[in-house]
Structure 1
Amino acid sequence: MKTPYGHLTYCSNIHAGESWKDHFAQLKKYIPHIKQEASPHQPFGIGLRLSNIASLELEWEENMEAFKQWLQQEDCYVFTMNGFPYGSFHHTRVKDQVHAPDWTNYDRFQYTLRMAWLLAELLPEGMDGGISTSPLSYQFWHEPEQMDEVFVKATKHILGVVEELIQIKDVTGKMIHLDIEPEPDGLLGESEAFFEWYTQYLLPMGIDYLHDQFGYGETQAVAAIKEHVQLCYDICHFAVCYEDHAAVLEKLRKLGIKTGKIQISAALKGAFCQDLQMRGAVVDAFEDINESTYLHQVVAMQKDGSLIRYPDIPIALKDAANEFTTEWRAHFHVPLFVDHYGVLGSTQKDIEQVLQLHQQQPFTTHLEIETYTWEVLPGDMRLPIEDSIVRELEWVQGLLKRKSTSAATNQAASNQTYHA
């Protein structure tokens, strides 16, 4: 749905299924109710997750036409896609395989091209479209001496997508961007790694590549790259890494790099105090939520401000007695509207901060809620999934409205003081 601060939706990766038939069945089951509750008087945008298998099947003309007719019938539209998980994302052990195949693999390249053409087919006129994707690879798959080769190979595939996105724009008039999503322990795990890759690999290699493909000069090549390769600002991921959101946004502006979408998401955190009983309760709470499907990277803040990174909760638990640790943050996409889960808290404040910064100086038109860990909710707060999604959408809408009203009040007070 359109808000004063961009198109707001949720990511459909919450719904199980890997074939297009499964994807479409889930959309038909849940979207009408969600739209009726959250966006009854205006079109509702969909954040579409497509597995590789589903993307192949949606290319079939009969499937695409049926989907487009359904979108028109339900007053819905697709403006952003999740192209991070290539394969199974539900009812199986995912863990580090969420990165497979990575950007060094031709299959990832082909999958992303396919999604770009599908999005061009679905995207309404006059609207840009985005595809979020993995942070190139998973860092623990590669030895240090391999890293330069990995970056070069992955970047070549990214630039092949840029070439295709330029052609899509020329042919269809649709502007689509690839949104790189940093994630803890990804090859681009934090904002600084993203900036280094963008300036040291993507731009220099891209200038030469687009000169060879299209005869672009440096200025034109840089402009095309910055239009078609953007950042996916996943608040959960950045919060886990204790990122300074204002500083990240300032560097984006300084470098002229755009943000394709904000993924509105919350992580879990637990404070470690000196009281051994309370400290034990926090450790027990993390142990209780440990599960075997997804990666739950943990980043620990130390008393001196340094960080220790653990690839998953079981590894962090082995270091739970570290007396220098003051806080753990774990990669769980937990519900937005709750800030505490027993002795654990959430990084809800990071969402509030990022959206407030966005209101002050908008930096994207795509807002996508990504929550898929609902099991942490207390039993009395659990609702059917469609009602939980509506609650998320309403919480974000309320936050945007509240922040907007507060900003207007402060501005009015400032004006009165000035005139006085």
Structure 2
Amino acid sequence: MRFRHADGTTVHLSYGTNVHDADDLEDVGALLDRYATPVRERLGADRLGLGLWLPEPAATALARDRSGVDRLRAELTARGLEVVTLNGFPYRHFHAPVVKRDVYLPDWSHPARLDYTRDLAAVLSRLLPDDAVRGSISTLPLGWRAFWSPAHRERALAHFDELGRELAALARTYGRPVRVGFEPEPGCVVEDAAEAAAHLTGLDPEAFGVCLDTCHLAVAFEEPEDALTTWAGAGLPVVKVQASCALHADDPSGPATAATLASFAEPRFLHQTREAVPGAGRIGCDDLDEALRPGALPGRGPWRVHFHVPLHAAPAPPLRSTRPVLESALSALFAGERALTDHVEVETYTWSVLPPEQRPDGPDGLVDGIAAELDWAHRRLTGIGLKEVSG
């Protein structure tokens, strides 16, 4: 779906396909008919954007087969689908039984991360619709903090230099840039807005910027306008926004709250937990089950948990979602005289690990859930003042 800002910017709305289990190119092709096309039909939309996740084997295969990219582009077009953004954070096996910290590997110090992102940029340059202004790729915020050292940073900077040159060459070849956005996330080298400015200032803004994930922003107890001000001052563009919501617990010390939170602790994904402690700032644990252990956190202030919950459906009390942070972020990005980004990706990849009673009932239920999230985002964007562009 596309929208027009008052300044003339075309804003693209998509959903992230990393919600679907895909290990290779065949799996990627299958999800177009099983999920993406039915979502578009549920919405009654002429065109639906995908924030496409290409696992490394698929990205490698397509980067070496230009005709394969052209076939994929034709298959997308035939189904009323389009791609202007790729999710380049997970490398592969994102729906393995246990992912946890493996999602941060390879990090940006490793040549494999450079190769993967290089391949994604080459593929996206050919997938872009003819009238798209540019493409975007979201990526991990350097790496997990415990794995990082000054030597890792030096290798990463060398990789950024090399990738920047290749992105510039692709822009010259295809006439449109592809930008890479680093996605601050709790527990990573770049966790919040200030760390993004500290680590990323000086990179070429024509090639690099920030991917604003509103779940991650909320878990860090940051305000969208403050983050945007910090990044603007550092010369960091918002390459894309991932529309997402975290869990919020006002009183984590209550027995009912703890029991409800425990239903979200699961073995696949990492659910970093942060507490806003009065007078002490932000403290936290690397996973929800760790945070729930007696004494792990003080429990004197509210908790926020890195668990992407559906945009349109509030969790059962006593929990709530951080949807107000998402709403504030969208207003800060689009309610002004100038659009501050042009790619919005709904990224709730955790449908399959929600508490059992909240999970969708099979593939059709997942289609309904994704469509409901996109409908919420559509209504929010038009409520801000964006105009839908049909056709």
Matched residue count: 373
Larger Rg: 1
In the TM superposition, residue 312 of structure 1 has moved relative to its aligned partner by 0.7
1:159 positional shift: 1.8
Report the Cα offset of residue 135 of structure 1. Answer: 0.5
Q: Say whether the 8 Å CA contact 2:263–2:355 is kept in structure 1.
A: no
Which of 229, 234, 250 is the equivalent residue of 2:213?
234
Specify the SS of the correspondent of 1:227.
coil
Matched position secondary structure for 1:289: coil
Correspondence 1:199-238 to 2 at 5 A: 199=201, 203=202, 225-238=204-217
**Distance in 2 between the 1:240 and 1:140 partners?**
19
Q: Which structure 2 segments of 5+ residues have no match?
A: 6-10, 387-391
| Match status 1:282 vs 2:287 | no
Give, as a single letter, the amino acid of the residue that structure 1 aligns with 2:97. Answer: T
Q: Distance in 1 between matches of 2:371 and 2:54?
A: 22
Deviation at 1:235, TM superposition (A): 0.1
Under a length normalisation based on structure 1, what TM-score does the superposition of the two structures give?
0.84
Aligned residue in 2 for 1:189:
191
Per-residue CA distance 1:315-356 (angstroms, 9 max, x = gap): 211245755521111100110112332321110111111111
| More displaced 10-residue stretch of structure 1: 19-28 or 231-240 | 19-28
Specify the alignment match of 1:391 in structure 2.
372
Is the alpha carbon distance of 1:185 and 1:380 closer, same or farther for their aligned partners in structure 2, counting shifts above 3 Å?
closer
Q: Given that residues 226 and 258 in structure 1 are in contact (C-alpha distance below 8 angstroms), is that contact kept between their aligned partners in structure 2?
A: yes
- In 2, the alpha carbon distance for the partners of 1:96 and 1:380 equals 25
Shift in Å, 1:380: 7.5
Q: Are the structure 2 counterparts of residues 79 and 322 from structure 1 closer, same or farther at C-alpha, using a change threshold of 3 Å?
A: closer
The Cα offsets for residues 7-48 of structure 1, whole Å up to 9 and x where unpaired, read as 00100001112111011101221121112232523x322210
Q: What's 1:63 paired with?
A: 68
- The amino acid of 2:51's aligned partner reads G
Pick one of 345, 359, 371 that aligns with 1:368.
345
SS in structure 2 of the partner of residue 325 of structure 1: coil
1:91 and 1:255 map into 2 onto residues whose CA distance is 37
SS at match of 1:250: helix
SS at 1:345 equivalent = strand
Displacement of 1:372 in angstroms is 1.8
* Counterpart check, 1:348 vs 2:323: yes
Residue 180 of structure 1 is matched in structure 2 by: 182
Aligned-CA RMSD value: 2.0
Task: Note if contact 1:341-1:377 (Cα within 8 Å) is conserved in structure 2.
Answer: no
Q: Could you tell me how far apart the structure 1 residues matched to 2:279 and 2:212 are?
A: 27
Hey, what's the Cα distance between the residues in 1 that align with 2:123 and 2:135? 11
Residue 131 and residue 390 in structure 1: after superposition, are their counterparts in 2 closer, same or farther (change >3 A)?
same
Give the corresponding residue for 1:131. Answer: 137
Alpha-carbon distance in structure 2 between the residues aligned to 1:371 and 1:403: 22
| Residue 155 (structure 2) aligns with | 153
> Could you say what secondary structure the match of 2:313 adopts?
coil
Alpha-carbon distance between aligned partners in 2 of 1:328 and 1:46, rounded to the nearest angstrom: 32
Alpha-carbon offset, residue 310 of structure 1: 0.6
Which letter maps to 2:342? T
Which runs of no fewer than 5 residues in structure 1 stay unpaired? 207-224, 406-420
Deviations 1:137-183 (A, max 9, x none): 100124xxxx3222221121122111100000111112100111110
Q: Give the letter for the 2:303 counterpart.
A: W
Measured in 1, the distance between the counterparts of 2:255 and 2:146 equals 30
Q: Percent identity?
A: 29
Residue 297 of structure 1 deviates from its aligned partner by 0.4
Classify 1:392/1:30 alpha carbon distance in 2 versus 1 (closer, same or farther; 3 Å).
same
Shift of 1:288: 2.0
Hey, what does 1:251 align to over in structure 2? 230
Q: 1:136 to 1:321 in 2, by over 3 A?
A: closer
Higher relative contact order (CA 8 A, sep 6+): 2
TM-score by length of 2: 0.90
Say whether the 8 Å CA contact 2:194–2:230 is kept in structure 1.
no
Q: Which has the higher helix share?
A: 1
Cα deviation, residue 76, structure 1: 2.0
Taking a change above 3 Å as real, the CA distance of residues 2 and 254 of structure 1, as seen in their structure-2 partners, is same
What is the distance in 2 between the residues matched to 1:302 and 1:120?
46
**Partner residue in 2 for 1:339:** 314
Distance change (3 Å), C-alpha of 1:44 and 1:306: same
Q: Secondary structure at the match of 1:330?
A: strand
Moved more, 50-59 or 317-326: 317-326
Which letter maps to 2:164?
Answer: V
Alignment-derived partner of residue 389 in structure 2: none
Contact 1:259 1:364 (8 Å CA) reproduced: yes
Is contact 1:262–1:364 with CA below 8 Å preserved after alignment?
Answer: yes
